[in-house]
Amino acid sequence: MIDLNLMGKKAREASYILSGIQTEKKNLFLNKLAETLEMRMSEILSENAEDVSASKNVLTPAMVDRLTLTADRIHGIIRDVLNVSRLSDPVGEIFSPMEHKEGLKICKKRVPIGVIAVIYESRPNVTIDSACLMIKSGNASILRGGKETIRTNSVLIACVRDALDQSGIPADAVQFIDTPDRNIMMELLQMDESIDMLIPRGGAGLHDFCRKNSRIPVITGGIGICHLFVDKTADQEKSIRVIQNAKVQRPTVCNAIETILVDQSIASDFIPKVCSVLSLSGVRFKVDQTAYEILNETKNPNLMYDLAEKNDFDTEWLSLILGIKVVCNVDEAIQHIQLHSTKHSDGILTENAENAQKFIEKVNSACVYVNASTRFTDGAELGLGAEIAISTQPLHARGPMALQELTTYKWIIQGDYHFRK
C-alpha cells in the first residue's frame, strides 16, 4: 500500500537538496539517463508491447497511438533528454535589478517551485519528459501515470532511478505512484502541504476532475480544438500544404487542427481542392450547410463528409476528422474561434497584413499563428527543449511549459542595516 504522506515528505526533503544542486550534476543525470534508455531499449519495447496489446480493445485508436513506443520514438525521447542537458539552467538567474532611493540593492532570483505532481494518461514519454525537466529546473516530482502504461512506466522509472543513483541525486527526487487506484489520485489532490503545483495531462475528464477536486494549484491545458482560417487572399496551394501538415502528420496530438474556416469568397474553389487532397490520407469531414452544398456539387465519390452536428465544432477528434465552416470574413472567423477554441493554437493563412494583425490582436490563444502549421506548438520546436505540458490558461505559464515555466522567483533585498523611516 502506498503511503502518500510519506511520499510527500520525502519529495519535500528532496526538493531542498535539489534547489542547491549544481548544473553539472543535473546534466550528468540527463546524460546517464540517455545512456540507460539506449541500453534498456529492448526491455522498454517489450513491456510497451504488452501494454499496447492489453489496451487495443479498450482504448480509442488515438489513445493507443499515444501509448505506443517504437525504436524511433524512443530515440526521439533520448534526443529530447540530451537537448535538455544542453539548455541553460534557469535556476539562480538574477534579473530586474534596481536600487532603492535609500541605497538598498534589490533584484529577483529565479528558484525552483518545489514539489510538482504530474498526472497523465497513455503517454509514457511524459514519464521521461517530467523527470528531465523537473531535475533540470531543481524540482522534486511525484508522477502518476495511467493503468494502461503501468508496465512501460515501471521500466522507465527504473531507468530514471538508475540515472539518479549514478549522478548522486536522491532517488526521492522523482517518485512514481505505481497503482491505478482512483482513490489514491483523490488523496494526492488534497496534499497541498507537500505539493506546490499539479499538472494534469490527459483528456477533458481528467482536467475537470483535477480542477474540481484539487487543493493544489492546477495548471491545465493540452486540450486542442485548434483552427486555421483561410483568408480570401491566402495562397491556396501553400495553404493546402499547411492544412495537410496540421491535420494529417499526427492527428492524435493536441496541436493538430480540428477545424478549418474558409472565407466565403474562395469557398467554392478552395474547399473541393483541399478536401480532395486530404481525402487521399483518409480524412473525413464534418461540414456546415454551405460547405455541404459545395461538396455535393463536386460529385466526388471519394469524399467522405457529413453535415456537422451541434457539438462537432466543440470536439477534439484526435483522428482523421476535420470540421469545415464557411465564414463571411476574418471577423466572423475570429468570432467562431472565440466561441469554440480551447485557446491552444489557432492560425490564419493570409497575404493581408491588416487581417493578420487583427487576428493576432483578437485571438487570445496560447499560440497564434500567421501562415504556419499549428504543429509547431511544441517545446522543442519553439526552442525550449522538451515540455511538461502546454498550458492554455493565462496564469503563471502559457503555451509550452519548459524549464523557465517550472520556476518562480524570490526578491533579494540587500542593505547596510537599513530600516524604514
Q: Which CATH number belongs to the domain containing residue 139 in this structure?
A: 3.40.605.10
Closest alpha carbon to 324 in 349, 270, 288, 276 = 288
85 and 137 assigned to the same domain: yes
88 and 139 assigned to the same domain: yes
Domain harbouring 240, CATH code: 3.40.309.10
DSSP annotation of 203 reads: -
292 and 349 assigned to the same domain: yes
In a domain? residue 182: yes
269 and 172 assigned to the same domain: no
Closest alpha carbon to 314 in 292, 283, 295, 341 = 341
In a domain? residue 384: no
Taking residue 396's Cβ as centre, other Cβ atoms within 10 Å add up to 13
Give the model's pLDDT for residue 182. Answer: 80
In a domain? residue 382: no
- The whole-angstrom separation of Cα 295 and Cα 283 is 14
Buried b (16+ CB within 10 A) or exposed e, 135-144: bbbbbbbbbb
215 and 233 assigned to the same domain: no
Amino acid (one-letter) located at 388: I
169 and 32 assigned to the same domain: yes
Give the model's pLDDT for residue 218. Answer: 94
Half-sphere exposure of 152 (CA within 13 A, CB side): 29
198 and 278 assigned to the same domain: no
Residue 394 makes CB contacts below 8 A (sequence gap 6+) with none
141 and 126 assigned to the same domain: yes
In a domain? residue 317: yes
Residue 102 makes CB contacts below 8 A (sequence gap 6+) with 415, 418, 421
Q: What is the pTM of this model?
A: 0.87
52 and 103 assigned to the same domain: yes
Which regions in the chain score pLDDT beneath 50? none
269 and 398 assigned to the same domain: no
Give the model's pLDDT for residue 421. Answer: 87
In a domain? residue 144: yes
335 and 408 assigned to the same domain: no
Give the model's pLDDT for residue 35. Answer: 98
What is the extent of the structural domain holding 230? 226-376
8 is written with which cell numbers?
510527500
Number of domains in the chain: 2
Contact indicator for 81, 30 with CB cutoff of 8 Å: yes
Amino acid (one-letter) located at 63: M
Buried b (16+ CB within 10 A) or exposed e, 69-102: beeeebeebbebbbbbbebebbbeeeeeeeeeee
Give the model's pLDDT for residue 63. Answer: 84
| Sign of CA pseudo-dihedral 348, 353, 355, 359 | positive
Q: In what side-by-side order are the strands of the sheet with 174-176?
A: 174-176, 140-144, 115-120, 197-201
In a domain? residue 63: yes
248 and 291 assigned to the same domain: yes
Contact indicator for 268, 294 with CB cutoff of 8 Å: yes
Give the model's pLDDT for residue 11. Answer: 97
Amino acid (one-letter) located at 206: L
